[in-house]
């Protein structure tokens, strides 16, 4: 099973992990690492290395981070340069985290990474866009009638 490490600024990781737990239950090989103001980058790196050691199954590790260019993203990116079996995905949202944790058994590391990005994009929408899509689907069904 692909191991997943969620990290972000402030309480992003713990908050999202708590929400994910509420929706899909406790997950194996999943760790979250907050990056509060008082934490240094070297401390974050130590925490990330420790998480890797704790949950690495040999099937790969994916870091899900909050912000492109932020310290959690950069630190995970540097760690990924040390190993071929670490991927980093950023812009993590609830849709992505929950869905990908449920689907990781059936994917290899690259498939997981690519699908996570697609899933994150799919999770960003508006009520108006969803209603328009539903109206369009209804119109297509009516047009295909007898």
pLDDT digits (tens, 9 = 90+) for 82-135: 999 999 999 999 999 999 999 999 999 999 999 999 999 999 999 999 999 998
pLDDT digits (tens, 9 = 90+) for 1-60: 999 999 999 999 999 999 999 999 999 999 999 999 999 999 999 999 999 999 999 999
**Cα–Cα distances in angstroms (integers) from residue 144 to residues 28, 65, 131, 132, 135, in the given order:** 46, 44, 20, 18, 14
Give me the domain span that covers residue 65: 3-143
Tokens standing for residue 12? 């992003």
CATH code, 121 = 3.40.50.510
Q: Which of 26, 88, 29, 81 is nearest to 54 (CA)?
A: 29
Radius of gyration of the chain from its Cα atoms, rounded to whole angstroms: 18
pLDDT at residue 145 in the model: 58
Per the structure, the count of domains in the chain is 1
> What is the pTM assigned to this prediction?
0.90
């Amino acid at each position: 099973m692909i191991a997943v490490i969620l990290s972000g600024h402030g309480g992003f990781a713990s908050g999202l992990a708590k929400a994910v737990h509420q929706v899909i239950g406790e997950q194996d090989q999943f760790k979250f690492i907050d990056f509060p103001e008082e934490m240094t980058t070297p401390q974050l790196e130590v925490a990330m290395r420790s998480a890797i050691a704790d949950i690495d199954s040999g099937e790969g590790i994916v870091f899900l981070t909050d912000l492109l260019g932020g310290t959690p993203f950069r630190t995970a990116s540097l760690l990924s340069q040390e190993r071929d079996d670490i991927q980093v995905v950023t812009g993590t949202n609830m849709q992505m985290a929950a869905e990908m944790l449920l689907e990781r058994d059936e994917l290899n590391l690259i498939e997981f990474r690519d699908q996570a990005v697609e899933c994150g994009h799919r999770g960003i929408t508006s009520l108006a866009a969803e209603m328009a899509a539903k109206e369009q689907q209804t119109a297509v069904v009516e047009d295909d009638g007898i």
